[in-house]
Structures are given as C-alpha cells and as structure tokens.
Amino acid sequence: MNIPNRPTRRLILWAAASGLALAGSAVQAQTKEVTIAHQDMLDPYRIVMESGELEKTTGYKINWRMFGGGGDVIRAMASGDVQIGEVGSSPLTAAASQGQDVKLFWILDDIADAEALIARNGSGINGMKDLKGKKVATPFVSTSHYQLMVEMKLEGVDPKTVTVINMRPPEIAAAWERGDIDAAFIWDPVLSKIKGNGKVIATSGTIGKKGYPTFDGYAVNNAWAQKNEAFMVAFVKAMAKADAAYRANAAKWTVDSPEVKAVAKWTKADAKDVPAAMALYRFPTLAEQASPAWLGGGAAKAMTDTAAFLKEQGRIQEVKPNYGDFVTTKYVNEAMK
C-alpha cells in the first residue's frame, strides 16, 4: 500500500475537515424547515400560504399539510411530525390536559356563527329535543363536538338517546349526500354544502353567548418555538397582515378575487361560498390578540371551562390547574414592536 507523503496527507486531512464543515452547514440549512398543519377553516392567511411570502421572508422550507380535524393535528404534533398546528379550542384543551408541551400563540378566529348544527330537511328535527333517536355527525374532540354536547346538556337532552357519530368533514359531506345522517354540527366548507338541504338548529355563536365560546388558533411545540423565535415572529406578522387586509377590504374579497381563490384552493371550498362563510368569523387584531379578551386571559379561561366539560364527558382524565401555562403572548408582543 502506498503511504501518502506529508504534504499529501495534509491535503487529505484539510479536505476531510472541509467536507465535515460543509456537511455541518448542510445539516444546519436543513434544520430551517418546518411542517405546519392546517385544516379547512376559511381564514384570510390562506393568501400567505398561496403567495409563498413567508418562505421568502424567513428562508425556511415550509411543508403545509392539511388535516381533517384538530384531533389529527394534535396527534401529529405529539409524534413530532408537525411543529405548528391549526387547532380548535377543544382539541387544544385536550392536548394541554394530557400534558403536551404546546403553546397557543395566535387566535386564528373567533368562531362566532361559523359552526352550526344543521338538521336535514324531512328529518323531523326542529329543535334540540328532537335529536332523540337521530344520527348526528361531528368530528370528535372538535369545537363542534364540544358545543354539540354542551347544547344537549343545556337543553336537557340525554346524549345516550342520540347516536353521535365521529366523522371528518369530507365524510360528513358524503354521508349527507347518501342520506346516512339526520344532522351534523360542522364548519365550512361543508357547512355551506349541507345548508341547502337543511335547517339551522343552533350555532357556535348562540351557544357561545351562553358561556361556552370557541375559537380556532395556532399552537406550537414549545421547545421548537424557543429555538426558532425569529420565524415565529415573522409568521405572526404575516398572519396579522393578511387579517388586516381582509378587515380593511372585505367587500373586495369577491368570488373572482385572487384572495378568495387562494382561500378556496387551500381549503378545498367552493369559491362562491367563501365570502359569506368568512363573514361569519371575527379575526382579532394584533392588539386584540394580546388583550385580556384573548391570549392575555380569555383563551385560557375558555380552555379551563372546556376542560371541565371534557372531563365531565370522560374525554380527558384531569383538568390542569392553570391553562395559562399553555398560552403565550410572546410572539404577538414581539410582532408589535
């Protein structure tokens, strides 16, 4: 075997060291990647997803993954497959109650009247008490499921007398078409599809006014967020910008506008249904996000009330002493500087 002379050996060692350095740089570059889970709620920031501006601003590779419900999102976050997830207040509360290290950092929307219980025409359902003996579909551990159970309790309907079926939104749409279910508590875009052959029995807004409000938000793996603070602040700024654009020009978000087309594309909604459906939500400003109404206290209170109900229903084992531990204003406050 030929043994390299000393200068050649130095060259080999230098090349090896350089290779390791380059490999290290490549690994570091690869860490600038994030998987973000989204659902089919009709929110303004879909224009950010469509434009790619967040990727350009941050330099991160973003894997946008669509999920059928908040429960699926939370499971993906628990496994480490997803770092940031779009979830409703009910699945978020369930995750926090189970000790998952997540932080709510953004209120996507105040659900208001954007979710509803719809009874099929001809089902004989004209009020909550008529649900007895009927088949009602909703995604389990979602905000819709939570409010369905709350409203049945408030109206004195024994849940054991109602067949409540766990279905994801696309499955509800298909079951409705087949005539397999009598009613559904769901959000858009499915809500708009089934309203044409149904009657509104209750909405998230009417139930919320009874003391059980719900919201959609973004949660993040806390450890990941601490290591990627600049990205988190940029993400918040992008969402705030999109919401502000919608609030200032909602009338211009028409069926033929690029904004509505983007929302429809990313949520698989029919563009003609988007403007009316979006009008049912409220999108808090940056200042409102940090206020006591939301991340500054209101969200934690809503989660506390939700947890108490979920425990009563046997959906979680314990109620945490302080749900404020799972909420942060850090990134919103930084975005306002």
Does pLDDT of 1 surpass 70? no
pLDDT value, residue 2: 43
pTM, 2 dp = 0.82
d(CA 195, CA 164): 19
Does pLDDT of 12 surpass 50? no
Architecture of domain 33-111+214-335: 3-Layer(aba) Sandwich (3.40)
Q: Is 88 helix (H, G, I), strand (E, B) or coil?
A: strand
Mean pLDDT over 70-99 rounds to 95
pLDDT value, residue 31: 64
| Residue pair 82/76 in contact by the 8 Å Cβ criterion | yes
**Main-chain phi, psi angles of 32, to 5 degrees:** -80, 60
Reported confidence tier of residue 66, pLDDT bands at 50, 70, 90: very high
- Domain spanning 115-208: CATH superfamily: Periplasmic binding protein-like II (3.40.190.10)
pLDDT value, residue 19: 46
Burial (CB < 10 A; 0-12, 13-18, 19+), residue 96, is: buried
User: In the chain, where are the structural domains located?
Assistant: 33-111+214-335, 115-208
